[in-house]
């Protein structure tokens, strides 16, 4: 494994106790140029996780607390008339940063959420007909409270599809809770976190991940898995082509974190559920029989024969 990625995880784990698996998955998404949606009840450390990554990676970060009256212009910016030169002048919004913490994203209107769509997919924003590139790297870490909580609404499918991973942190175990209470009684947890890289160095890591080798048989394997989600009897909307690309990029990042320069089937299996669980729309038949998206994805994985790893280990 890359020593720098080890350091990154170690620093974030100082702040987010007992959630090493979640920390690894968020780092995986960042290396794969993906965005992360953290869904959970309030108070489990979602915002702290985002801040810890921002500090550890040396990224410029901005936070938007989404509410019912948050406007698209708060996100992407707006133009104002400059009397001095008689022209419109662009005033940047929160989007002009490396890491955008979109806090409680499902508490705002669909119109405001849609302001993120172009940025998350094309890494640019368009205001008054002028398109501007976003800083590199650009990552959205969004948090949402469970649907049904007061003031929340479901994210549209087009928004969900732009998140590479949807994760749930859950409560820490008893030992981690006790350590948290002891360590943070007088100290800001982020003070223990050190910056170990920079945006330029992170871009180099992202480039190394993009160069990970993927054999044709792996592409076929991913395509077969994705196709089964679309023909499943319990699914109305399966994994999109964007989702299939996300599986591939995430599998490459997983291989990189495992210290390999090529993808094996286990990399695909490791990322497939987290990449796809929020992309499936289930039908009424699934709800009646208590089928969940996670269960369907596990069934898809078990129903497709995994390629022999020996085909790839001799690459």
In this structure, the strands spanning 235-237 and 165-167 are unpaired
pLDDT class for 144, splitting at 50, 70, 90? confident
Tokens of 177: 């809770």
Whose CA is closest to 30, among 5, 66, 2, 11?
Answer: 5
Express each pLDDT in 244-281 by its tens digit. Answer: 999 999 999 999 999 999 999 999 999 999 999 999 99
Please check the confidence at residue 296 and state whether its pLDDT lies above 70. Answer: yes
Q: Is the dihedral of CA 143, 16, 263, 198 positive or negative?
A: positive
Nearest CA to 95 out of 139, 30, 56 is that of: 139
Q: Which of 115, 171, 107 is nearest to 140 (CA)?
A: 115
Average pLDDT, rounded, for the chain: 87
Backbone angles phi, psi at 281, to 5 degrees: -110, 120
∠ CA 102-242-158, nearest 5°, is 50
Q: In terms of Cα–Cα distance, which of 184, 265, 181 is closest to 219? A: 265
Q: How far apart are CA 71 and CA 281, in angstroms?
A: 28
Q: Are the beta carbons of 23 and 12 closer than 8 angstroms?
A: yes
The residue with greater pLDDT, 187 or 78, is 78
Residues 223-246 pLDDT 10s: 999 999 998 888 998 999 999 999
How high is the pLDDT of residue 43? Answer: 66
The pLDDT tens digits of the residues spanning 186-211 come to 667 777 788 999 999 999 999 999 99
Q: Which residues partner with 77 through β-bridges?
A: none
Is the pTM for the entire model greater than 0.85?
A: yes
**Mind listing the pLDDT tens digit for each residue in 86-124?**
788 888 889 999 999 988 888 888 888 888 888 999 999
pLDDT at 315 over 60: no
Q: Which region among 1-15, 34-48, 249-263, 268-282 has the lowest average model confidence (pLDDT)? A: 34-48
């Amino acid at each position: 494994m890359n020593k720098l990625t080890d350091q990154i995880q170690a620093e974030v784990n100082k702040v987010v106790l007992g959630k090493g698996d979640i920390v690894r998955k968020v780092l995986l998404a960042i290396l794969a140029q993906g965005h992360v949606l953290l869904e959970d009840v309030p108070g489990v450390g979602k915002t702290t996780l985002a801040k810890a990554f921002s500090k550890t990676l040396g990224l410029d970060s901005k936070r938007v607390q989404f509410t019912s009256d948050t406007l698209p212009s708060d996100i992407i910016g707006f133009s104002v008339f400059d009397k001095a030169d008689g022209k419109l002048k662009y005033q940047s919004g929160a989007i002009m940063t490396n890491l955008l913490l979109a806090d409680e994203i499902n508490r705002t209107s669909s119109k405001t959420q849609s302001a993120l769509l172009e940025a998350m997919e094309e890494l640019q924003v368009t205001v008054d007909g002028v398109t501007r590139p976003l800083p590199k790297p650009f990552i959205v870490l969004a948090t949402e409270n469970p649907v049904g909580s007061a003031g929340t609404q479901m994210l549209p499918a087009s928004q969900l599809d732009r998140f590479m991973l949807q994760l749930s942190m859950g409560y820490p175990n008893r030992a981690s809770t006790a350590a948290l209470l002891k360590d943070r009684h007088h100290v800001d947890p982020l003070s223990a976190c050190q910056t170990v890289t920079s945006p330029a160095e992170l871009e180099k890591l992202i480039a190394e991940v993009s160069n990970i080798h993927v054999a044709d048989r792996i592409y076929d394997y991913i395509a077969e898995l994705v196709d089964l989600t679309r023909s499943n009897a319990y699914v109305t909307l399966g994994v999109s082509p964007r989702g299939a690309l996300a599986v591939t990029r995430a599998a490459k990042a997983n291989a990189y974190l495992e210290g390999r320069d090529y993808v094996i089937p286990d990399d695909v299996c490791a990322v497939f559920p987290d990449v796809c669980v929020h992309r499936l729309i289930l039908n009424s038949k699934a709800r009646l029989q208590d089928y969940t998206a996670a269960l369907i994805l596990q069934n898809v994985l078990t129903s497709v024969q995994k390629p022999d790893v020996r085909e790839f280990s001799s690459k």
